[in-house]
Amino acid sequence: MWYIILIIYILLCIYYGIYFYVRMASIHISKEDYYDKYKRLQNLNMGFKYMFFPIPLATIHELYLKRLKEYRYNPRFSKLNGKQLTLLDSEKEIAHLNDGQLIEENIKSVDYDVWVTEDRSDILILRYYGESCRSYIECDECNYEANGRVRTEIIKIATYDSYGERINFYECKNCNAKTSISETIPMKVRESSSSSSSGSSYSSSSSSSSSSSSFGGGSSGGGGAGVSW
C-alpha cells in the first residue's frame, strides 16, 4: 500500500517537474516580448504545488519568480526607434498616467510601469495586477478596475436542498457608478460536521458586469504607438 503511494508520489513529482519546466522553457525561448512572456508565465501559476512536491518544484518555483522579475524589469527598447527605455519610479510615472489610472494605482487594483526613452520619443505604459486586484472588478461605466464591493445582501439562504442567492453591491472609486451582481450560494453539504453555511466557492451570475480582468496588451501612451520590447 505505502509502496504504491510512494510510486504514485514519485511519478507525480516527475510529471509536475517536467510539465512546469517544459512550459517555462517554451515561454522563455519564444519570440514574444517581455510583457507577453510575463503574462503567459503568470498564467502558469503552480499554486502551492511546490510545497507538496518540493524536490523538483521548489527549484522550479525559484526560477519562476526569477523569470517573472526578469520579464518585468529587464532593459526594454523602443519598438519605434530602438532607443533604450528607462523605468520611471512611482513619483515620476504620475505625470504619464491619467486620473483613472492613478486611482487604480492608489487603490492598488492595478500596478502600472511607465517606461520612457531619454528624449521622451516613446512612452510605454504596462499594466500589472496590483496587490489588491482581487478586491476590485472592472467598472462598466469607466472601464477602470475600480469597482469595489461595498455591501452584500443575502436574498435567499442556502439549504441542504436548494441554492441560495446574494447580491453584491459595488461602487466605483473612479466614477462613483453603482452596480450590483447577484451570486448563487452553493447548497449546504450534509456529511461535513463543520460545513460552511454559505460556502466560499460560488458561481456568479452577473446582472451587469463580469469580473474578468482586462489585462490585455500593454497600452502605449504619449508619443509611442506599439508595444515596445
Interface ranges with Zn ion (CB under 5 A): 139, 141-142, 172, 174-175, 177
Select 8 or 150, whichever has its Cβ closest to Zn ion: 150
Q: With respect to Zn ion, which residue has the nearer C-beta, 78 or 147?
A: 147
Minimum gap (Å) between residue 144 Cβ and Zn ion: 6
Closest contact distance (angstroms) between CB of 101 and Zn ion is 12
Residue type, 227: V
Least distance (Å) from Zn ion to the CB of residue 129? Answer: 18
Smallest distance from Zn ion to CB 171, Å: 9
Closer by beta carbon to Zn ion, 117 or else 174 = 174
Nearer to Zn ion, 109 or 228 (CB): 109
In the bound state with Zn ion, the residue whose beta carbon lies nearer, of 141 and 165, is: 141
* Nearest-approach distance from CB 137 to Zn ion, in angstroms: 10
